[in-house]
Amino acid sequence: MKASAFDYVRPPDLAGVLDMLRQFSGAKLIAGGQSLLPLLNLRLARPTLLIDIGRTEALRAIEDRGTHVRIGAAVTHAELEDCLIPDCPMLRTVAGGIAYRAIRNRGTVGGSLAHADPAADWPLAMAALGATVVVEGKAGHRRLPADGFMLGAFQTRLEEDELVVAVDVPKLSPDARYGYYKFCRKTGEFPEASAAAVFDPFSRTARLYLGALSGPPQPLHDLAATIARQGLAAIADVAIADAVDRVAAGDSIERRMRCAAVTRALKEVFAE
Where is 224: in which H helix or E strand? helix 221-230
Residue 152 interacts with ligand FAD (CB under 6 A): yes or no = no
Closer by beta carbon to ligand FAD, 53 or else 259: 53
| Region binding ligand FAD by CB under 6 A among candidate stretches 7-15, 110-118, 197-205, 237-245 | 110-118
Q: Give the three-state DSSP class for 193.
A: strand
Closer by beta carbon to ligand FAD, 29 or else 213: 29
Q: Which of 40, 80, 98, 197 binds ligand FAD (CB under 6 A)?
A: 98
Under 8 Å between Cβ of 259 and 241: yes
**Which amino acid is located at 31 in the chain?**
A
Q: Which residues on neighbouring strands pair with residue 177, listed in sequence order?
A: 199
| Region binding ligand FAD by CB under 6 A among candidate stretches 11-19, 104-112, 145-153, 237-245 | 104-112
Residue 49 interacts with ligand FAD (CB under 6 A): yes or no = no
Where is 52: in which H helix or E strand? strand 49-52
Q: Kindly identify the residues of this chain, within the stretch 169-228, that bind ligand FAD according to CB under 6 A.
A: 188, 190
| Region binding ligand FAD by CB under 6 A among candidate stretches 5-13, 17-25, 33-41, 126-134 | 33-41
d(Cα 256, Cα 125) in Å, to the nearest integer?
21
Closer by beta carbon to ligand FAD, 110 or else 130: 110
Site string for ligand FAD, 65-94 (x = CB under 6 A): --------x---x-----------------
Q: Of 83, 86, 67, which Cα lies nearest the Cα of 170?
A: 67
d(Cα 208, Cα 218) in Å, to the nearest integer?
9
Q: Which of 62, 91, 114, 195 binds ligand FAD (CB under 6 A)?
A: 114
**Which amino acid is located at 155 in the chain?**
Q
Q: Which of 18, 35, 243, 244 binds ligand FAD (CB under 6 A)?
A: 35
Size of the residue set binding ligand FAD (CB under 6 A): 31
d(Cα 77, Cα 87) in Å, to the nearest integer?
18
Q: Which residues on neighbouring strands pair with residue 166, listed in sequence order?
A: 72, 134
